[in-house]
Amino acid sequence: MPSLSSAHTPLDIDAERLWSSLMDMAKVGPSPNGGSRRLAISDEDAAGRRLLLDWVEALGCTWHRDEAGNLFILRPGQDNSLAPVAIGSHLDTQPLGGRFDGVLGVLGGLETLRTLHDHQVTTLRPLTLVVWTNEEGSRFSPAMAGSGVWSGRLAQDAFFDAKDSQGVSVSEALEATNQRGDAALGSPELDAYFELHIEQGPVLEETDEPLGIVTGVQGIRWYDLRFEGQSVHAGPTPMSYRHDPLLAATAFIQAMRDELGDDRDARLTVGDFSVIEPSRNVVPGAVKVQLDLRHVDETRLSELDAAVTRLAQSAAEREGTRVDIEPIWHSPVTPFHDDLIRTLGDAAKARGNEAPQMMSGAGHDAVNVSHVAPTAMLFVPCLDGISHNEAEYASPEHCALGTQVLCDAVVAWANR
């Protein structure tokens, strides 16, 4: 494993330039209340990528896209026959997203390339800055899709044929925004992958820690449930005659909450709940529920998965309705690479920080990449743990420290 002290002399990033870049990127696709709206493979998403390419081309870097629109920006090394060390994240956002989720990882990587350029330093291995397509999954499902199809963990048909709410497919959107590339999926082979990100939770802020070394990502399962009953007039129909899917759906949600009990590592979220063809004075005929279930232990996650089926069917039967359960996505508990974790820890210590180790509660492109290349992540705090929100905020000082440690670790690893 590389030694930070012996591999290189640490190079200081330009914190003001980093912050300026973050604020400039936030001007691309601004949302009404100071956040960002760059939905995946939209014109705004393409404009954000174009701004990034303007910046990296000034550094003499080359770039290409693969068939999924994943963007790879290459800085040559001393030995370009070696696989590159990658830094990456995403530029797409939620419909009313923040200025830092994903963006910090990309622009922290940019600042690493700029710092090396400023000091005329060439690493032994080449470096590549990666912008993954459709990480958020807000316009096209599932999330982390570009890295998923690149790594082979998501089928190509599932990626390219996915449609947004307007019926536009990923394939059509790539063509419309000129983001489809020629490079084959799965290339290039990566020596390692580092991703910097805001925590998207409150732990670092509550413990007054400026950094966290991520040891892995909790497991995630998504479901679409549809409860179907009988649509009847609300006035003449006694309760005992009804087959109400809304009552079944709400009973199921409460039963799942009870199933979690006081398990601090479990996460249950109903992201969408809708009555089909709603009317105030009509018993609903059908109800849709979108469910997000997470845990740090795969065995416990499997137990909760079984509970979804058991409790949904029980609630449906109680109300004389039926339920269809469609598993949408399963990302298992994912551990990261021990040597990369230690490299990040050494880099943090060299900058005077004993960064704690932690699991990520959110999914990231690093999950998919970890199945084909050694991977690790670094977190910085965000205000009140808020993310996927226009109020999302990370301080200039924390952004700079995270980028500095990222830069030091990447250079140390690339020079080993």
Question: Please, what is the angle between helix 15-26 and helix 396-414, to 10°?
Answer: 110
Mean pLDDT by 10 residues, the chain (416 residues): 50 98 98 97 98 95 98 98 98 97 98 97 98 97 95 97 97 98 97 98 96 95 97 96 98 98 95 96 98 95 98 98 94 94 98 95 92 98 96 98 98 96
Q: Do the beta carbons of residue 113 and residue 129 sit within 8 Å?
A: yes
DSSP classification of residue 289 = E
Say which amino acid occupies 163. K
What is the structure's pLDDT at 8? 54
Helices in 229-362 by DSSP H: which ranges? 245-260, 298-318, 338-350
What is the structure's pLDDT at 87? 98
Q: Do the beta carbons of residue 298 and residue 219 sit within 8 Å?
A: yes
Q: Do the beta carbons of residue 150 and residue 186 sit within 8 Å?
A: yes
Q: Do the beta carbons of residue 129 and residue 106 sit within 8 Å?
A: yes
- For the chain, give every domain's residue range: 4-218+333-414, 222-331
Between CA 156 and CA 193 the distance in angstroms is 22
Nearest C-alpha neighbor of 122 from the set 174, 165, 160, 80? 80
Report the sign of the C-alpha dihedral through residues 105, 110, 113, 117, in that order: negative
CATH of domain 222-331: 3.30.70.360
CATH of domain 4-218+333-414: 3.40.630.10
CA 123 to the chain's CA centroid: 28
Joined tokens for residue 28: 């691309």
Measured CA distances, 45 to 21, 27, 59, 131, 313 (Å): 16, 12, 22, 11, 41
Give Cβ neighbours of residue 349 (< 8 Å, ≥ 6 apart).
Answer: 355
What is the structure's pLDDT at 157? 97
Q: Do the beta carbons of residue 319 and residue 208 sit within 8 Å?
A: no
Measured CA distances, 339 to 194, 219, 344, 345, 354 (Å): 12, 22, 9, 10, 17
Measured CA distances, 203 to 264, 290, 358, 390, 394 (Å): 13, 27, 9, 20, 14
Other Cβ atoms closer than 10 A to 120: 6
Q: Do the beta carbons of residue 59 and residue 50 sit within 8 Å?
A: no
Between CA 251 and CA 145 the distance in angstroms is 33
Other Cβ atoms closer than 10 A to 155: 11
